[in-house]
């Protein structure tokens, strides 16, 4: 069989992304043909800083905007380059030159310094495709889909609306196994204690009931008490969870599966997966970065591209 072609956006070059790409190349090249969205000039500069050789079969794509790499520094130049690398990688998939997209980590402040309006990859994809992209993170043992993502906590409660949450659940269900229950977390401590600590759970439960009725069977369960949702017993009952906000879902996920979890963008016309970690500026160019999340992200991109 012909190996799938995977577009790799290189992430912030002041971080660990390029180290991961170089170190993992020989392993992932056995299962796919990776296309790295980085110019030869920047690749050579990064490899020199890492004291790393560049594999002969390392396919690059020219990205404009050469600059001096400064490990661990937030800069507008590195932010713009990571954004342009991402755009080029998306184009490779949209034009059918590649089967799926894998993204290495960007730095949100660097994007902001570069004047980029988006807070991250998913925001940009949502706007580009005019689709309600869903951010789901995890690994085979546990996945968490985020109802709200990069949003100040003071705004979360106002975003919990019956119709909107129901639509989110229905979109999510299209991409997950139909024979597995999905746990939906409440928002408040003790899931509101019947309204004593907040009444958002009433809206969440109404959205769950509506979504299940539209699907025709009970898939979604909740609202689960947030502080007990991820106990061992519940993780035996559920492999998929829906969190109402970012840290509600990602703190337990990263505490349990930090090295191996990945990020998957669902409900889009392209396949996009990503590492589930940041730029790790503190260890940039120190040859300490883990490859596990990246390799899992590549494997997931291949799997999704072959089944979609």
CA dihedral 25, 291, 279, 98 (to 10 degrees): 40
Q: What is the mean pLDDT of residues 279-297?
A: 96
DSSP assignment, residue 51?
T
Give the fold, CATH level 3, of 1-131+268-308. Isopropylmalate Dehydrogenase (3.40.718)
> Same fold for the domain at 1-131+268-308 and the one at 134-265?
yes
The helix-helix angle for 17-28 and 292-307 (nearest 10°) equals 60
SS3 of 8, please? strand
- Sign of the four-CA dihedral 244, 247, 252, 256: positive
Instruction: Identify the pLDDT of residue 1.
Output: 58
Beta bridge partners, 265, equal 135, 272
Q: What is the mean pLDDT of residues 261-276?
A: 95
Residue range 38-62, pLDDT digits in tens: 999 999 999 999 999 999 999 999 9
Q: What is the mean pLDDT of residues 4-28?
A: 98
d(CA 146, CA 195): 23
Confidence of residue 154 (pLDDT cuts 50, 70, 90): very high
Instruction: Identify the pLDDT of residue 192.
Output: 84
Q: Can you list the positions of beta strands (E) in the chain?
A: 5-9, 33-37, 59-60, 100-103, 134-139, 142-146, 182-185, 220-224, 240-243, 262-266, 272-275
Q: What is the mean pLDDT of residues 70-84?
A: 98
Confidence of residue 153 (pLDDT cuts 50, 70, 90): very high
Instruction: Identify the pLDDT of residue 193.
Output: 87
Question: What are the residue ranges spanned by the domains of the chain?
Answer: 1-131+268-308, 134-265
Sheet of 182-185: strands edge to edge?
59-60, 33-37, 5-9, 100-103, 272-275, 262-266, 134-139, 142-146, 240-243, 182-185, 220-224
Instruction: Identify the pLDDT of residue 117.
Output: 93
Instruction: Identify the pLDDT of residue 308.
Output: 64
Q: Select from 37, 44, 25, 78 the least CA-distant residue to 61.
A: 37
Determine if the pTM surpasses 0.85: yes
Q: Does domain 134-265 have CATH number 3.50.50.60?
A: no
Q: Token pair 């993204």 is at which residue?
A: 103
């Amino acid at each position: 069989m012909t190996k799938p072609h995977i577009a790799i956006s290189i992430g912030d070059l002041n971080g660990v992304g390029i180290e991961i790409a170089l170190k993992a190349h020989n392993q992932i090249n056995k299962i796919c043909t990776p296309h790295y969205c980085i110019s030869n000039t920047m690749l050579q500069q990064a490899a020199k800083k890492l004291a790393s050789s560049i594999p002969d079969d390392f396919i690059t794509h020219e990205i404009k905007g050469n600059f001096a790499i400064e490990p661990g520094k937030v800069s507008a130049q590195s932010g713009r380059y990571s954004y342009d690398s991402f755009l080029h990688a998306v184009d490779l998939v949209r034009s059918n030159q590649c089967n799926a997209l894998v993204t290495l980590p960007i730095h949100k402040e660097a994007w902001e310094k570069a004047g980029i309006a988006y807070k991250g990859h998913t925001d940009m994809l949502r706007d580009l495709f005019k689709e309600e992209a869903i951010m789901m993170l995890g690994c085979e043992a546990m996945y968490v889909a985020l109802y709200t993502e990069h949003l100040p906590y003071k705004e979360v409660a106002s975003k919990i609306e019956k119709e909107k949450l129901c639509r989110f659940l229905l979109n999510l269900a299209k991409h997950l196994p139909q024979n597995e229950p999905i746990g939906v977390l409440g928002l408040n401590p003790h899931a509101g204690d019947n309204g004593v600590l907040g009444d958002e759970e009433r809206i969440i439960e109404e959205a769950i009931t509506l979504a299940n009725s539209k699907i025709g069977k009970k898939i979604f369960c909740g609202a689960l008490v947030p502080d007990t949702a991820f106990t061992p017993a519940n993780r035996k009952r559920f492999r998929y969870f829906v969190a109402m906000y970012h840290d509600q879902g990602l703190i337990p996920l990263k505490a349990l599966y930090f090295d191996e979890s990945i990020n998957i963008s669902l409900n889009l016309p392209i396949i996009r997966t990503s590492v589930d970690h940041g730029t790790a500026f503190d260890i940039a160019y120190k040859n300490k970065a883990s490859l596990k999340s990246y390799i899992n992200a590549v494997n997931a991109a291949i799997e999704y591209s072959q089944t979609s």
